Amino acid sequence: MRMQGALRLAAVTALIGAGAPIAALAYDFTVPAGVPRQVWFSVSMNEDCSLMGEDVNRVVVAPEHGRATTRRAVVHPIFAATNPRHVCNTKSVTAPTIWYTPQAGYVGEDTMTVETIAAGGSSRTVTINIHVK
């Protein structure tokens, strides 16, 4: 029964993600103990793969067992195959990112909340669940 609930939640999330801007989502990342890792990025692109402008990422709830930092870094977009911008996935772009660095010696769960304001004016809030191993 638990698996059906998880599948149902995934289907609802996929349907919401395919529609209008999303108010809140959650993402899971595994981070090696003691190693900083990029856990979020945001990029707004036109269909010709040019940038619409720069998105803004803000950490609105900081992690309890590590440090979140923002910086510009080279990323590859990850548009779904159904999005006309999926051809941009082969391009590298410099975009705002968020990195997580676990506290020294920490292993366990952590979380942070990030707000992204897209270049086009939409915004979304995401919860990032971090598994430090």
Residue 4 lies in a domain: no
Average pLDDT for 19-41: 78
Structure confidence by residue, pLDDT tens digits, 50-98? 999 999 999 999 999 999 999 999 999 998 999 999 999 999 999 999 9
CA distance 20 to 70: 26
> How many domains are contained in the chain?
1
* Strands laid side by side in the 24-31 sheet: 24-31, 123-132, 108-117, 56-61
d(CA 12, CA 9): 5
Indicate if the pLDDT at residue 21 is higher than 90: no
Residue 8 in any domain: the answer is no
The answer to whether 90 and 72 have CB atoms below 8 angstroms apart is: no
CA distance linking residue 33 with residue 35, whole number of Å = 6
In this prediction, residue 24 carries a pLDDT of 52
Q: What letter does residue 123 receive in the DSSP assignment?
A: E
Residue at token pair 């803000």: 58
| Residue of higher predicted confidence among 27 and 103 | 103
Residue numbers of the domain that contains 55? 22-132
Supply the pTM of this predicted model: 0.76
Look over the chain and give the mean of its residue pLDDT values, rounded to a whole number. 83
Does 3 map to a domain? Answer: no
CATH number at residue 40: 2.60.40
pLDDT at 7 exceeding the cut of 50? no
Q: How many angstroms separate the CA atoms of 15 and 28, rounded?
A: 19
Please check whether residue 62 lies inside any domain of the structure: yes
Is position 16 within any domain?
no
Residue 121 in domain:
yes
